[in-house]
Structure 1
Amino acid sequence: MAIATRGLTKRFGRQTAVDSIDLAVPRGAVFGFLGPNGSGKTTSIRMLLGLTSATSGEISVLGEPMPGRLSEVLPRVGALVEGPAFYPFLSGTANLGRLDTADRHASSRTRRARVALALERVGLSHAANKKVHAYSLGMKQRLGIANALLTHRELLVLDEPTNGLDPQGTREVRSLIRSLAAEGTTVFVSSHLLAEVEQMCTHAAVMSAGTLVAQGTLADLGRGSERRVRITTPDVGAASRVLTDLGLVPVPVPMSGADAAQEDPAVMAAYPVGRTPAEAIVTALVAAEVRIRGFVLEEPSLEDRFVALTGEGFDVVQ
Structure 2
Amino acid sequence: MSGAADLVIETTGLTKRLGGRSVLNGIDLAVPRGSVFGFLGPNGSGKTTTIRILLGLASATSGDVRVLGESIPRALQQVLPRVGALVEGPGFYPFLSGTANLLRLDAADRYVSPSTRRQRVDTALERVGLSQAAGKKVGRYSLGMKQRLGIANALLTHRDLIVLDEPTNGLDPQGTREVRHLVRSLTEEGTTVFVSSHLLTEVEQICSHAAVLSAGSLVAQGSLEELRRAGEPRLRVVTPDLPQTHTVLRRLGTTPDDDGASPGAHIITAPLPDGVTPDRIVRELVEAGVRVNGFSVDQAGLEDLFVALTGEGFDVVQ
Q: TM-score range by the shorter chain?
A: 0.7 to 0.9
Which residue identity is paired with 2:174? Q
Q: Distance in 1 between matches of 2:71 and 2:134?
A: 38
Distance between the aligned counterparts of 2:75 and 2:260, measured in 1?
Answer: 62
Distance 1:144 1:26, change over 3 A: same
> Offset at 1:36?
1.4
AA paired with 1:85?
G
State whether structure 2 residue 37 is matched by structure 1 residue 31.
yes
Is 1:226–1:274's contact at 8 Å kept on the other side of the alignment? Answer: no
Which runs of 5 or more structure 2 residues have no equivalent in the other structure?
1-6
Looking at structure 1, the residues matched to 26 and 108 of structure 2 have their Cα atoms a distance apart, in angstroms, of: 35
Letter in 2 for 1:313: G
Match of 1:104 in 2: 110
CA contact (8 A) 1:2 1:26 kept: yes
Q: 1:211 aligns with which of 171, 193, 217?
A: 217
Q: Could you report, residue by residue, the CA deviation over 1:101-131 in whole angstroms, capped at 9, with x for unpaired residues?
A: 1101111122112111111111111111111
* Paired residues for 1:50-129 under 5 Å: 50-129=56-135
Q: Which residue of 1 aligns with 2:190?
A: 184
- CA deviations 1:24-53 (Å, max 9, x no partner) are 111011111111111111111111111111
The equivalent of 2:309 in structure 1 is: 309
Any conservation in 2 of the 1:8–1:18 contact (CA below 8 Å)?
Answer: yes
| Deviation sequence 1:263-293 (CA, Å, 0-9, x none) | 5xx35545334799x9x86xx89xx9x9998
Q: How many residues align?
A: 303
> Greater CA deviation, 11-20 or 138-147?
11-20
Aligned to 1:221: 227
Distance 2:256 2:212 in 1: 31
Report the Cα distance in structure 2 between the residues aligned to 1:254 and 1:103, rounded to whole angstroms. Answer: 56
State the alpha-carbon separation in 2 of the partners of residues 93 and 22 from structure 1. Answer: 39
1:1-318 paired onto structure 2 within 5 Å: 1-230=7-236, 256=261, 259-260=262-263, 266=265, 268-269=267-268, 271-273=270-272, 298-314=298-314
CA RMSD of aligned residues (A): 3.2
Distance 1:104 1:255 in 2: 61
- The letter for the 1-side match of 2:158 is H
The amino acid across from 2:151 in the alignment is I
Q: Residues 111, 270 of structure 1: CA spacing in aligned structure 2 closer, same or farther, 3 A cutoff?
A: same
What is the distance in 1 between the residues matched to 2:72 and 2:49? Answer: 15
State the 1:54 CA deviation: 1.4
- CA distance in 2: counterparts of 1:18 and 1:151, whole angstroms: 32
Q: Which amino acid aligns with 1:102?
A: A
What is the one-letter code of the residue matched to 1:164? G
Equivalent position SS for 1:109: helix
Q: Following TM superposition, by how much is the alpha carbon of 1:204 offset from its aligned partner in structure 2, in angstroms?
A: 0.9
Partners of 1:305 and 1:129 lie apart in 2 by: 46
Higher alpha-carbon deviation: 219-228 or 60-69: 219-228
Separation in structure 1 between the aligned mates of residue 13 and residue 97 of structure 2, nearest angstrom = 43
Residue 8 (structure 1) shift: 1.2
Q: TM-score, normalised by structure 1?
A: 0.83
Query: CA-to-partner distance for each residue in 1:128-180, whole Å, 9 max, x for gaps?
Result: 11110000001000000000001000000001111111111111111111111
Kept after mapping to 1: 8 A contact 2:239/2:293: yes
- What is the Cα deviation at residue 298 of structure 1? 4.1
1:61-87: CA deviation from partner (whole Å, max 9, x where unpaired): 000111111111001000000111001
Shift, 1:95, TM fit? 0.7
TM-score by length of 2: 0.83
C-alpha distance in 2 between matches for 1:212 and 1:43: 13
Work out whether residues 122 and 172 of structure 1, in 8 Å CA contact, stay in contact via their aligned partners in 2: yes
Using the alignment, how far apart are the partners of 1:200 and 1:157 within structure 2? 14
CA deviation after TM superposition for structure 1 residue 230, in Å: 3.9
| Identity between Structure 1 and Structure 2 (%) | 65
CA distance in 1, matches of 2:22, 2:93: 35
| Paired residues of 1:230 and 1:267 also in contact (CA < 8 A) | no
Separation in 1, partners of 2:156, 2:271: 49
